[in-house]
Structure 1
């Protein structure tokens, strides 16, 4: 099955290269818009700031992405989450930015971000309101997509709150939600109709078996509920996502939510999250206060060898070789014939772990050292990440 998926991915890449165009809108094949050949990388304000987002914050973060080296390491999207909008639409029914938080509007922020070699993302909702209670896009998809394109937006995160009359942020006890596919398809088509390349991020928290159908609707789709800055939350989200790799690949990715690195977990747990997200072929969207990030946090984000695993063009996510006693061995095939291997100790005590790999060169991707085998004493909540180059 994994070989079949890899072959399909290669065929899709060849189709795009030869024709210069993605499949028609509505196609169930990954790559309907030709974007996100590898998992998107960037930053989002929500984990660290919630609804407290301003133009100044976005511009300050764009500068930090450049000065820290994150942009040059591949982090390109600066994504505005919920809270950017005015409380109501304007007299013409159009979305508008909050005049206090974004005094010069979204287009000015986009210009600032683009001038630094970065791309701008924005947030909306497939329901009547956003999760923060601002105007949603249900029934306004064409106009909202046109507005996003006119402002210079490159990425849209599309949430799932208030999905129909009587629905609140997370449930519809007093009403009936329209199926997610019926609400996500209009925005997909509206974004395509603008003619602007806009990555479409589906955020319905993995409900309605999203991974099974979302490839025809978006470039990435959430597999779970929201992540918290705790080891328990990160572990649960990894466990829910790791078995869904067969649904994802180039141009369409499982999204286990934004990274919580730098937001309160231990250094060991931060490194584990970066390692596991790379093995999952997950989007790498930082969610911390980037302007004040420590050198150690920046070093985690910008490890080129780990990023190369995440961004591997084959796009095949890791599978679990074994997980006895909470000791996970994960492997991931890479495009050039190499293999990525992770030893993840999910338990609360250190453990000696090892696995058999093909003969060849073994590199520890966090230290850069080489060894003849894959094995180590792995700390509690820790992960060792290796790249194996098989002998010729």
Structure 2
């Protein structure tokens, strides 16, 4: 394969858009076996998860595909190079297993790796891309291909870095769809954020991992949110930064066994939904608590994740240059706490308290583009599921350690008129940045609600 040129990249961008027509518009919702069970699962256990998804109402909310992650096949291909079914784990074969989950409204999705082997040392897809796609199709899988990054071949394709190897499966997915005149698989790269995938993965895929494997600990959640702060701009319709599978429900269980509090799990789920990641359940739903189901089943947040009219993720604000002319820098311990953006339902704000104690946190309506100073907004708390007040100029919340506020703001008209002692109307731009440029009609500067003789 020749080295990629600029002209080739432009052509690939056009091909990616053609592939994306009608596929991969929204983040994928479903189940993945890895976080709950690692390699320790079989067909009966997997089907039990699909059954639980249906009976708890999660399928109705959109969790409708199922990934058998690593270790579902035998460790050797057959003489013709085909994947071999593990009939001990899946009596009757994988097509029969797929039919067992279809009855619960759940489809099948595929897992593999673009190396010689998967990360669990099962047969990888490298050199067998079309062959494996045909196999998965014959088993009734038609949702997504999660494509891992282990046992990397040393060859002329690998010399072109991550892009070259992952493009092999992208091309095969296109060819399979053309061969059968079918909707293509959604293609989700699991390459751990290597080589800044937000800059190249949208050319060949619908999603890409931004991080190493998630673990069920608060430190991992903060690390991933901080990484998303550098890559959120690449997310939109047809392309999503994948923050990895959900760990909700894995306190006291999972692989490894987790220890997140309910507040931390709420923050985790809120960030994954509002930053437009896949929502792939990774806990044993047979023993899911009401608290776990209430988090996974938060329809208000899911609706924003699956918004048909707004594909962008929330963006961090109060980043960098501040109203007091200082700079703020964030890190894996303390990622950006303030995020906002738009949706079909109104302006969306997410505030996360990373501190180990209760904090009062708030924002001003001049700080973010999604709302306007001089307007007032109904505020809905999407965890309390109720209207909690009207924001005029600012809004403040009290958050326990590691908890989150997910707020929906809807415009209800101009703010009430009020006058200062000097007779001037209080300016909507009084704080923070515009305070240093906001003037009365006569040109005198207004600062924090009072006329001054000086300006910026």
Answer yes or no: is 1:351 the counterpart of 2:347: no
The residue aligned with 1:377 is 398
The C-alpha deviation readout for 1:275-301, integer Å capped at 9, x for no partner, is: 111221111111111121111101111
Answer yes or no: is 1:310 the counterpart of 2:327: no
* Runs of 5+ unmatched residues, structure 2: 1-10, 252-259, 320-327, 366-370, 414-456
TM-score between both structures, scaled by the size of structure 2: 0.75
The residue aligned with 2:8 is none
Give the alignment's Cα RMSD to 1 decimal: 2.0
The residue aligned with 1:139 is 127
2: distance between equivalents of 1:377 and 1:89?
A: 57
The residue aligned with 2:287 is 292
Deviation at 1:30, TM superposition (A): 8.2
Answer yes or no: is 1:59 the counterpart of 2:47: yes
Q: Higher helix share goes to which structure?
A: 1
> Which range is displaced more, 97-106 or 39-48?
97-106
Distance verdict in 2 for CA 1:237–1:328, change over 3 Å: same
The residue aligned with 1:15 is none
The C-alpha deviation readout for 1:146-169, integer Å capped at 9, x for no partner, is: 111121112211100001149xxx
The C-alpha deviation readout for 1:237-275, integer Å capped at 9, x for no partner, is: 111012312112112110010111111211000000111
Q: 2:304·2:343 contact (CA, 8 Å) conserved in 1?
A: yes
- Deviation beyond 4 Å, 4+ runs, structure 1: 23-26, 323-327
The residue aligned with 2:254 is none
Q: 1:339·1:387 contact (CA, 8 Å) conserved in 2?
A: yes
Answer yes or no: is 1:249 the counterpart of 2:270: no
Q: 2:248·2:281 contact (CA, 8 Å) conserved in 1?
A: yes
The residue aligned with 1:38 is 26
Distance verdict in 2 for CA 1:26–1:181, change over 3 Å: farther
Q: 2:12·2:203 contact (CA, 8 Å) conserved in 1?
A: no
Deviation at 1:37, TM superposition (A): 1.3
Distance verdict in 2 for CA 1:28–1:156, change over 3 Å: closer
Q: Secondary structure at the match of 2:268?
A: helix
Deviation at 1:34, TM superposition (A): 2.6
In the TM superposition, 1:143-222 aligns within 5 A as 143-153=131-141, 154-165=143-154, 179-195=161-177, 196-197=182-183, 198-222=185-209
Return the match for 1:320 from 310, 316, 331.
Answer: 316
1: distance between equivalents of 2:348 and 2:289?
A: 28
More relative contact order, 1 or 2 (CA 8 Å, 6+ apart): 1
How many residue pairs get matched?
360
Q: Secondary structure at the match of 1:330?
A: strand
> Which range is displaced more, 50-59 or 62-71?
50-59
Deviation at 1:100, TM superposition (A): 1.2
Deviation at 1:117, TM superposition (A): 1.6
Question: For the pair shown, which has the larger CA radius of gyration, 1 or 2?
Answer: 2
Q: 1:31·1:250 contact (CA, 8 Å) conserved in 2?
A: no
The residue aligned with 1:330 is 339
The residue aligned with 2:450 is none
Distance verdict in 2 for CA 1:55–1:206, change over 3 Å: same
